[in-house]
Amino acid sequence: MNLRQLQALARQHGTPLVVVDHAVIRRNFAEFRRHFPKVQPYYAVKANPEPEIVRTLFRAGASFDVASLPEFMLVYENIKSWPAPAQQDFIWDKIIYANPTKPRQTLEALDRYKPLVTFDNLTELEKIHAYAPHAGVVVRLRVPNTGSMVELSSKFGCDPAEAVDLMLAATRLGLAVEGVSFHVGSQCCNFENYVQSLNMASAVMREARSRGQPMKILDIGGGFPAPYHQDVPPIATLARKINAEIDRLFPPDVEIIAEPGRFMVASAAWAVSRIIGKARRDGKPCYYIDDSVYHTFSGIIFDHCKYPLKSFRRGRKEICAVFGQTCDGLDVLSLSEELPELKLDDLVYAENIGAYGSASATWFNGFPPAKVVHVNL
Ligand SMILES: *Cc1c(COP(=O)(O)O)cnc(C)c1O
């Protein structure tokens, strides 16, 4: 995607606009496969649930991690080559429901698909047994999330010391126990989290196997960092660590899967917005754009992410504030952006906004989410 194309698309479709480049998604997927040849990626749909993205990744060979019944159905319905009648192996090979807490009604609706689901406590296990007795289960461990941009360990995962007892309980209830999972936290640049988690998972698996519990799947979760800026360590460094630990710690019959969300889509989208207002407050230039933190830029709030705004215009840059279109005081994109002097109707853009942005956009203030355009489908 070059800037000329981006501007042309904004002229054609108007603003606010999100452009998703599927060539970049395919490149990210291929890069993941190249670095982790023994790991099957289950794309975490919540990062960006556009059906076009699901189809592109399916054609590239991906499987999917879903967080809800609607996401499960979205994947199910968009996989056109789904064999009929659906083969059980194919469902498990293609979808894991990795949200550890599931509403009863969701379990009831999913049971006919015999889904693969995660859990991390006995209450959930009993619920799965009662409402989705045909599910296969994967236990989620609580692992270190130190230094990850989004921390998950206070909400999810069982104490590793309880994991084997939970698996034995699942077996006693007649559920198919498939394996172990973890999540090191999103945008994890502290790769020791993965190393420690792999060691914990291997200890759990070894003990489970020694107590007669077959273990097929190791799910190493998400967290693979997107290259937002130059300080993000390269995925090749992470791959060397993970691959060495996998070879050392797990027997070759263990099937290894991962749930990358952000890594697949973050760098594949651009947002283009328009300057709709301009003011000077205490000497600082302030710009108002036709998008907001309640819309495409929701990752600023929910994802703890920053998206530097850039101008198509050249010129001497000065520090300015950029605000969203809503009348809420929280709706601040930046208080210290560096932009040249802009006029009304000028366009600005942000890169690397494909993950957790549009995905959590709302209709706040009556403004609809930005239009999404897919290129290189
Ligand atoms: C959100 C989530 C993911 C995706 O995480 P990324 O950091 O975007 O790769 C994967 N697995 C689970 C269980 C999640 O909740």
Is residue 85 predicted with pLDDT exceeding 60? Answer: no
Which residues sit opposite 176 in a β-bridge? 136
Give the number of the atom of ligand 1 that is nearest the alpha carbon of residue 355.
8
Closest by CA to 66, choosing from 49, 94, 44, 50, is: 44
At 82, the pLDDT band (50, 70, 90 cuts) reads low
Q: How far apart are the C-alpha atoms of 249 and 329, rounded to whole Å? A: 51
Ligand 1 atom nearest residue 99's Cα: 13
User: Region 161-167: what's the mean pLDDT?
Assistant: 96
Query: Is 65's C-beta closer than 6 angstroms to any atom of ligand 1?
Result: yes
The predicted model gives 119-127 an average pLDDT of 98
Is the predicted pLDDT of residue 86 greater than 60, yes or no?
no
Q: Which helix (H) or strand (E) holds 252?
A: none
Between the CA of 176 and the centroid of ligand 1 the distance, in Å, is 23
**Is 158 assigned a catalytic role?**
no
* pLDDT tens digit sequence for 209-257: 999 998 999 999 999 999 999 999 999 999 999 999 999 999 999 999 9
Residue nearest to atom 3 of ligand 1 (CA): 222
Question: For residue range 294-343, what is the model confidence (pLDDT) as tens digits?
Answer: 999 999 999 999 999 999 999 999 999 999 999 999 999 999 999 999 99
Average pLDDT of the chain is 95
What pLDDT is attached to residue 21?
98
Place 93 in a pLDDT band, splitting at 50, 70 and 90. Answer: confident
**Which residue among 25, 65, 220, 303 has the greatest number of ligand 1 atoms within 8 angstroms of its CB, and so is best to mutate?**
65
d(CA 298, CA 221): 23
Q: How far apart are CA 173 and CA 125, in angstroms?
A: 9
Q: Quick check: 88 pLDDT over 80?
A: no
- What structural domains and CATH numbers belong to the chain? 3-18+267-375 (2.40.37.10), 22-265 (3.20.20.10)
Neighbouring C-alpha atoms within 13 Å toward the C-beta of 254: 24
Residue from 53, 259, 267 whose mutation best tests the ligand 1 pocket (most atoms within 8 A of CB): 259
pLDDT-derived band at 147 (thresholds 50, 70, 90) equals: confident
Strand extents, DSSP E, 210-367:
217-219, 255-258, 269-281, 284-289, 309-311, 317-323, 332-340, 347-350
Contact between 138 and 220 (Cβ < 8 Å): no
Tell me what the mean pLDDT of segment 268-291 comes to.
98
Confirm or reject: Cβ of 47 under 6 Å from ligand 1: yes
**pTM to 2 decimal places:** 0.96
Residue 202 has pLDDT above 60, yes or no: yes
